[in-house]
Amino acid sequence: MKRRDETQPPDPGAKRAKTEAGPKVKYYHKNGLRHVQPYEHSFETWVKGRWVGRQILEVFVKEFKMHNAEYYQGALDAGKITVDGKAVTAERVLKDGQRVRHTTVRHEPPVRGGDIKIVQQAGDLVVVDKPSSVPVHPCGQYHYNTVTGILMQEQGMEALHTVHRLDRLTSGILVLATTKPAAARFQEEMSKGEVRKKYVARVKGRFPAATEDGSQVTVSQSVRCANYRSSVHECHIDGKPATTNFELMHYNRSDDTSVVRCFPLSGRTHQIRLHLQWLGFPIKNDPCYGGSVTDDGECELGSPRGEAADRFDNTTVIGDMTTQDGQGDLHSLGIWLHAYFYEASKWKFEIELPDWAVPLKDNAA
């Protein structure tokens, strides 16, 4: 199975370089999904060391595969790609210290429709119930179709600071801060282990019940990043220490899945997903760590083809957690992992469990 949990950056600077703030964008809803009206956007980046001495067209074709050579040739001819503010030919050899700029019409992938539900807004904290498929902040191909982007565009909440991580495919409690000092305070509580978190997941197979003494299932396996470009992680002895406790809620005989409470004692990237995979009970619809993008397990995530405009605009929802784009490729709209409880000494946030965590009718045991 192709591990394609996150989309790759479409252009220079998408990950690290600062991008210009774009104009106010328009959203539209189609087929149950939220879309961003395509908009003009400019990416800028300094010439990387590995680009020095290479022709600019070759660099774009090999480094940024969102478009083909024909597109980049046309962009250079039209002056949409510049070096130090000047139009250049495809044969221009790049030098150290130069600034490359690419102006293009940006197409963002669609996400789940509906508003971002605000659970609580008090003082300098904003707590929301994040839908699956929506990234927390700009990353890769997502800029405005993000939690912070939607709240800024639709509710005027500017300069929100993220204080903890919640994967794009994961749903549930997300805490944001309106000031940097508030974000720092919350992050300090997290780093000291003062925040108690509870998640719920639906996994393959019959998860073991508690031991005779009532103990939970505990996994202590270090986690590290295996591939930075695709953001794939793994359990590895050279990683950072990570511990998660698990507790069976119920077993569904009809589809051989278990709903499990998860209690992460650390906050490593993809920790819960990896620890469930390590136990042999991966989240059933997690395409990156042992599950599949569709319930029947017969389909895989496809590589995008064709023009972004047609591919994204014609995306439809297949079932509850899968979309099919305009080129027929399947993509995960979310996984069965939900953060429903966060608590510290002076505050507590709790939201309802999702529908998929409820016992299946006439099949719970």
Is residue 256 flagged as an active site residue? no
Given a contact cutoff of 8 angstroms between Cβ atoms, the answer to whether 210 and 247 are in contact is yes
Given the residues 5, 11, 129, 167, select the one marked as catalytic: 167
Given a contact cutoff of 8 angstroms between Cβ atoms, the answer to whether 175 and 349 are in contact is yes
Average pLDDT of each block of 10 consecutive residues along the chain (365 residues)?
A: 35 37 81 94 94 97 90 96 97 97 93 94 92 93 94 91 92 95 90 92 93 82 89 94 96 95 95 97 95 55 54 88 89 95 91 93 59
Q: What is the pLDDT of residue 21?
A: 47
Q: What is the pLDDT of residue 209?
A: 87
What string of H, E and C letters represents the secondary structure of 180-241?
HHHHHHHHHHHHCCCCEEEEEEEEECCCCCCCCCCCCEEEECCEEEEECCCCEEEECCCCEC
Q: 124 CB contacts (<8 Å, ≥6 apart)?
A: 177, 178, 179, 181, 182
pTM, rounded to two decimals: 0.83
Q: What is the pLDDT of residue 362?
A: 63
Distance CA 282, CA 273 (A): 7
Q: What is the pLDDT of residue 20?
A: 39
Residue type, 276: L
Nearest to residue 287, comparing CAs of 278, 277, 279? 277
